[in-house]
């Protein structure tokens, strides 16, 4: 039976929970708020299926030849509603055009992040945009298999480890399944996220009506976290100053497996990989207007056919993948552990959220000065590019 000895060896993908024929495995929350499989020993028949399908124990060898592209959705409104270049929506719309269904991370009524599926264009809104929380798979793998067995086309989007979990659970390839993952920095704790929602609600004297992690009010490179509350007030702050994002970027709130991720590679199980194209201003400056540009890896022939079906809806330029990875190292490198991570989670239940983050995630003044200089140079660089495009330089 599956037994978690070292928490770094479990991504919480839920493949074992989904596959257990006796339903003897449940996903239980630990003290840090992450979910791990727990076995009911009375129900377990020791069939070993959970061990045989675990994607961390049985990491497949992928040897593929891939292409990389810079992409921007031609629909400016959709692009502005998206985290980067709006390519997920273009792909999802293609699947929906073919009467398929789309799985992805969405907020539930309490702003927990769970995997859900949609079968309509209207429903895509809740899947669009980044959610910086580990989503709960729940029964999404089972639902995916049911749709596939019915002959429905399925697009499943998720982290690389969630795609690995789905593939392991299915145990075979389906022609009607398309998988999209993304370059993942790491997944923060749902418990930390819950604490932050409560902190923001207390400050606003109201509960959230809408939350967005990636508003572009200050531009794509300095994206903003937004809470719109039911009392018509709004919290809006950029990624450097929002305390939840600060903890995320400091690697202090991440799952243990994220510090030694088995799925950090350009050779992926997904058909297409999506990412923000950080560094686009250095590689293709004419595709950088600070409104969002996507980096896409087309990982195999199935991914190529899907990408070809949306080419007329997007601007796209092929790029050298090795050059792109220079600015997007999370594709191949795990997050560095924060030295005070254990203390952060120890104090999570005892300190107010703002004091917790300030205690463990404050930058020295020299680092803050460097960040402000970097932001200033980004603004100047964008201004110069704009002048050149308008012929005013």
pLDDT tens digits for range 39-82:
999 999 999 999 999 999 998 888 888 999 999 999 999 999 99
Give the separation between CA 334 and CA 262, rounded to whole angstroms: 9
Same domain assignment for residues 72 and 48: no
Same domain assignment for residues 46 and 163: no
Model pLDDT, residue 239? 86
Give the separation between CA 206 and CA 209, rounded to whole angstroms: 9
Question: And the tokens for 161?
Answer: 């480890």
* Pairing relationship of beta strands 154-157 and 177-182 according to DSSP bridges: parallel
Model pLDDT, residue 365? 63
Hey, what's the torsion of the CAs at 88, 76, 281, 240, to 10 degrees? -80
Same domain assignment for residues 27 and 95: no
- Residue 25 counted as domain residue: yes
- Residue 233 counted as domain residue: no
Helices (H), the chain: 15-19, 49-53, 76-81, 87-97, 140-149, 160-170, 190-204, 243-249, 280-283, 301-310, 321-326, 341-347, 353-361, 365-389
Angle at 109 between CA 34 and CA 146, to 5 degrees: 75
Give the separation between CA 307 and CA 310, rounded to whole angstroms: 5
Residue 143: CATH number of its domain? 3.40.640
CA proximity to 298, closest of 286, 289, 311, 284: 311
Same domain assignment for residues 107 and 31: no
Model pLDDT, residue 294? 97
Chain mean pLDDT for the chain: 92
Same domain assignment for residues 114 and 33: no
pLDDT tens digits for range 91-109:
999 999 999 999 999 999 9
> What average pLDDT score do residues 116-139 get?
94
Neighbours of 369 (CB within 10 A): 11
* DSSP tally for the chain: helices H, then strands E: 14, 13
How many folded domains does the chain comprise?
2
- Indicate the pLDDT class of residue 322, thresholds 50, 70 and 90: very high
Could you tell me which residue, 19 or 1, shows the higher pLDDT? Answer: 19
Give the separation between CA 2 and CA 23, rounded to whole angstroms: 13
Model pLDDT, residue 46? 92
Same domain assignment for residues 14 and 160: no
Per-residue pLDDT for 378 more than 60?
Answer: no
Model pLDDT, residue 63? 85
Per-residue pLDDT for 280 more than 50?
Answer: yes
How distant is the alpha carbon of residue 392 from its chain centre?
39
Give the separation between CA 47 and CA 25, rounded to whole angstroms: 13
Per-residue pLDDT for 357 more than 80?
Answer: yes
pTM, entire model = 0.90
- Residue 148 counted as domain residue: yes
Model pLDDT, residue 388? 53
- Residue 371 counted as domain residue: no
Percent of the chain with pLDDT over 90: 87
Per-residue pLDDT for 392 more than 50?
Answer: no
Give the separation between CA 27 and CA 25, rounded to whole angstroms: 7
Give the separation between CA 49 and CA 65, rounded to whole angstroms: 32
Give me the half-sphere count of Cα atoms (radius 13 Å) on the Cβ side of residue 165.
26
Cβ atoms 258, 160 nearer than 8 A: no
- Indicate the pLDDT class of residue 307, thresholds 50, 70 and 90: very high
Residue 15: CATH number of its domain? 3.30.70.20
Same domain assignment for residues 112 and 79: yes
Same domain assignment for residues 79 and 113: yes
pLDDT tens digits for range 330-352:
999 999 999 999 999 999 999 99
- Residue 12 counted as domain residue: yes
Question: And the tokens for 279?
Answer: 């560094």
Domain that holds residue 38: 7-53
- Residue 389 counted as domain residue: no
Model pLDDT, residue 231? 97
- Residue 237 counted as domain residue: no
Cβ atoms 192, 348 nearer than 8 A: yes
199 exposure class (CB count in 10 Å sphere: 0-12, 13-18, 19+): middle
Model pLDDT, residue 253? 98
Same domain assignment for residues 176 and 277: yes
Q: What is the DSSP string of 29-78?
A: E-TTS-EEEEE-TTT-----HHHHH-TTTTPPP-----EEEEEEES-HHH
Cβ atoms 287, 85 nearer than 8 A: no
Same domain assignment for residues 123 and 267: yes
Give the separation between CA 366 and CA 147, rounded to whole angstroms: 54
Among 12-16, 58-62, 264-268, the range scoring the smallest mean pLDDT is 58-62
Give Cβ neighbours of residue 393 (< 8 Å, ≥ 6 apart): 384, 387
Give the separation between CA 133 and CA 19, rounded to whole angstroms: 24
- Residue 243 counted as domain residue: no
pLDDT tens digits for range 196-223:
999 999 999 999 999 999 999 889 998 9
Same domain assignment for residues 37 and 71: no
Cβ atoms 122, 144 nearer than 8 A: no
Model pLDDT, residue 1? 67
Same domain assignment for residues 158 and 274: yes
């Amino acid at each position: 039976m599956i037994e978690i000895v070292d928490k770094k060896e479990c991504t919480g993908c839920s493949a074992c929970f989904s596959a257990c024929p006796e339903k003897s495995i449940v996903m239980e929350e630990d003290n840090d708020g992450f979910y791990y499989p727990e076995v009911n020993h009375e129900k377990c028949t020791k069939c070993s299926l959970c061990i045989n399908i675990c994607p961390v124990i049985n990491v497949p060898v992928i040897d593929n030849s891939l292409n990389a592209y810079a992409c921007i959705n031609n629909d400016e409104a959709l692009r502005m509603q998206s985290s980067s270049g709006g390519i997920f929506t273009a792909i999802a719309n293609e699947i929906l055009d073919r009467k398929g269904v789309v799985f992805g991370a969405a907020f539930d009524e309490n702003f927990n992040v769970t995997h859900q599926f949609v079968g309509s264009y209207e429903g895509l809104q809740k899947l669009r945009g980044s959610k910086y929380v580990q989503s709960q798979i729940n029964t999404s793998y089972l639902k995916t298999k049911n749709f596939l067995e019915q002959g429905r086309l399925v697009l499943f989007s998720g982290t690389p480890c969630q795609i690995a979990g789905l593939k392991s659970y299915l145990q075979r390839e389906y022609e009607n399944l398309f998988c999209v993952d993304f370059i993942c920095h790491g997944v923060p704790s749902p418990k930390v996220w819950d604490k932050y929602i409560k902190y923001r609600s207390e400050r606003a004297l109201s509960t959230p009506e809408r939350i967005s992690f990636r508003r572009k009010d200050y531009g794509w490179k300095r994206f903003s976290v937004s809470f719109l509350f039911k009392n018509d007030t709004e919290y809006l702050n950029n990624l450097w100053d929002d305390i939840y994002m600060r903890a995320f970027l400091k690697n202090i709130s991440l799952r243990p497996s994220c510090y030694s991720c088995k799925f950090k590679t350009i050779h992926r199980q997904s058909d297409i990989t999506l990412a923000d194209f950080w560094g686009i201003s250095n590689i293709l400056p004419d595709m950088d207007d600070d409104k969002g540009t996507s980096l896409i890896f087309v990982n195999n022939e199935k991914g190529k056919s899907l990408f070809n079906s949306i080419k007329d809806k997007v601007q796209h330029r092929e790029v050298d993948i090795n050059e792109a990875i220079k600015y997007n190292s999370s594709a191949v490198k795990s997050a560095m552990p924060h030295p005070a991570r254990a203390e952060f989670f120890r104090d999570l239940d005892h300190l107010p959220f703002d004091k917790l983050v300030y205690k463990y995630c404050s930058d020295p003044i020299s680092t803050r000065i460097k960040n402000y200089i970097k932001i200033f140079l980004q603004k100047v660089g964008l201004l110069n590019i704009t002048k050149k495009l308008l012929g005013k330089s």
